[in-house]
């Protein structure tokens, strides 16, 4: 795949990179997230090392959460059938979270392309019935997740370089990422690890990879690389967000560590082409929203992302 420097004014990508959250860009249209429009509840914070998604909730979803759990096997089967039929993809269901109108179901793809995403099942409040024939995904959400998984297959060596670098960084400095369980249970952010998540804006790649994927869902890395060898990609629209936390409680984000990571990313060769945002939080995460503390965070983000070609 060729990296092309397109002379196009960069779109506003705050919707993708939105700050200090593992889930800034997740299920916004289905239910309003509490943290986006109100001050965070200090009593809801816990150490990021202990957080696996417990306590995560969506606005107005308490009752539907109970209904969904009572019909858990039906919900899981309906979502797995939905992904297999619409996206030719087998998924593993990790978590059910009630929302105002139904239940949000967090899933992980099985095999490659590897990604995390979610689907929604409506619930009839009057009859307490889970409408399993009404499963849907929010506009473009799953397509974006699939695209990031394919992108990671094509740039497998480059993502390995990024993973190796971050492993060294968390060994060198007193910082950490989120737990793998949190990625699975409340992530839904495409190709993700405990240290970063990804998103691909529309028209970032000159070839419609979703159309190709639906025709060839079993392609391996070599087949994808061959199919897209003449495609062009605009790194400004490949969004890679690093989310890191201080390891110790009651410790503010270190400017020295933060600046060191920025310098490394700016200078490194062999990273996946993309637009990099970097966030260093303190040790706290809000268990209800999966957000870091907005009052203690260092960030290098929109409109000052690091573009790697």
Give the other-Cβ count within 10 Å of 70's Cβ.
11
Q: How many domains are there within the chain?
A: 1
Give Cβ neighbours of residue 176 (< 8 Å, ≥ 6 apart): 48, 49, 170, 244, 245, 246, 247
Rounded to whole angstroms, what are the CA distances from 294 to 91, 224, 225, 242? 33, 40, 40, 16
Q: How far apart are CA 260 and CA 15, in angstroms?
A: 27
Q: How far apart are CA 209 and CA 103, in angstroms?
A: 29
Along the 309 residues of the chain, how does pLDDT read in single tens digits? 766 533 222 222 222 323 333 444 334 333 333 333 334 566 689 999 999 999 999 999 999 999 999 999 999 999 999 999 999 999 999 999 999 999 999 999 999 999 999 999 999 989 999 999 999 999 999 999 999 999 999 999 999 999 999 999 999 999 999 999 999 999 999 999 999 999 998 889 999 999 999 999 999 999 999 999 999 999 999 999 999 999 999 899 999 999 999 999 999 999 999 999 999 999 999 999 998 988 889 999 999 999 999
Whole domain around residue 214: which residue ranges?
2-308
Query: Can you give the pLDDT at residue 16?
Result: 30
Beta strands in 7-90 (DSSP E): 45-47
Instruction: List 262's β-bridge partners, or say none.
Output: none
Question: Based on the number of CB atoms within 10 Å of its own CB, is 252 exposed (0-12), middle (13-18) or buried (19 or more)?
Answer: middle
Quote the pTM value.
0.88
Residues 152/1, Cβ–Cβ less than 8 Å:
no
């Amino acid at each position: 795949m060729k990296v092309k420097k397109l002379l196009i004014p960069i779109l506003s990508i705050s919707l993708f990179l939105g700050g200090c959250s593992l889930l800034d860009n997740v299920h916004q249209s289905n239910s309003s997230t509490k943290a986006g429009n109100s001050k965070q509840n200090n009593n809801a914070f816990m150490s990021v090392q202990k957080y696996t998604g417990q306590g995560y909730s969506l606005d107005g979803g308490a009752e539907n959460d109970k209904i969904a759990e009572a019909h858990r096997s039906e919900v899981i089967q309906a979502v797995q059938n939905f992904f297999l039929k619409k996206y030719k993809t087998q998924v593993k269901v990790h978590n059910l979270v009630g929302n105002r109108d139904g239940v949000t179901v967090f899933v992980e793809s099985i095999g490659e392309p590897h990604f995390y995403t979610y689907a929604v099942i409506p619930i009839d409040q009057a009859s307490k019935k889970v409408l399993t024939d009404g499963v849907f995904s929010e506009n473009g959400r799953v397509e974006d997740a699939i695209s990031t998984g394919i992108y990671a297959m094509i740039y497998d060596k480059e993502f390995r370089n990024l993973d190796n670098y971050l492993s060294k960084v968390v060994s060198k400095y007193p910082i950490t990422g989120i737990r793998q369980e949190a990625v699975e249970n409340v992530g839904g952010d495409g190709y993700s690890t405990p240290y970063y998540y990804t998103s691909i804006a529309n028209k970032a790649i000159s070839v419609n990879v979703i159309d190709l994927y639906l025709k060839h869902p079993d392609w391996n890395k070599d087949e994808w690389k061959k199919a897209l060898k003449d495609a062009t990609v605009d790194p400004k629209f490949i969004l890679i967000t690093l989310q890191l936390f201080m390891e110790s409680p009651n410790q503010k984000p270190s400017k020295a560590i933060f600046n060191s990571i920025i310098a490394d990313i700016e200078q490194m060769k062999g990273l996946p082409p993309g637009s990099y945002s970097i966030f260093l939080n303190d040790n706290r995460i809000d268990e209800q929203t999966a957000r870091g503390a907005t009052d203690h965070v260092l960030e290098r983000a929109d409109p000052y992302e690091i573009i790697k070609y």
